[in-house]
Amino acid sequence: MKQKKGQAALEYMSTYGWALMAVLIAIGAIMIYGINSPDTLASERCVPSQGFGCSSFDLVQREDDGLRVNVRNNLGYEIEINETSFNVLEEGVGITQDCVYSFTQEVTTRGLMQINCSSPIFGSIERNTLRKFVVEFDYYRSSSGPDFTRTASFEVLARARLDS
């Protein structure tokens, strides 16, 4: 009788052992071929501060115009932008300088502002890689003045592409 219990236990362990081995091999294959890498699973997105909206964004492999973000003022009132307050921080790299904005300093309600950032870093980004940037600028309500400045922040996750 004891031999039959031992045989049943051995068969049980070997059957589930093979199943466990198959699962581990499948997980290993997924890891090796990069099926579950963040670059393939994550989607591009732009997450604005409250009161703003991203109408479009783009990351291009060019030094003179790499990151472009179109921002809409949804605050419900006119704002003025402090043009010296633009910062673009790339996660893991540091601060990227030379942001150029193409809008008047005063942005109307529902007005659109385009932020273009240029840097040598953008020319060295590999094609189809996913990069994360934080764009920040200071603004204030036109009717209140610069003593009441606030900071807006945008998180942009974009895939680099060649400029056509």
What is the pTM assigned to this prediction? 0.65
Q: Do 69 and 149 fall within a single domain?
A: yes
The boundaries of the domain holding residue 88 are: 43-159
Number of compact structural domains in the chain = 2
Dmax over CA atoms of the chain, in Å, equals 92
Query: Which CATH number goes with the domain that contains 48?
Result: 2.60.40
Q: In this structure, are 13 and 89 located in the same domain?
A: no
Tens of pLDDT, residues 13-43: 888 889 999 999 998 888 888 777 666 667 8
pLDDT by residue (tens digit) across 106-157? 777 788 888 777 766 666 777 777 888 888 888 899 888 888 889 888 888 8
54 inside domain: yes
- Same domain? For 73 and 154 the reply is yes
CB atoms within 10 A of CB 131: 20
- The reply to whether 11 and 80 lie within a common domain is no
30 and 104 share a domain?
no
Residue 137 lies in a domain: yes
Q: Which two tokens stand for residue 10?
A: 């051995």
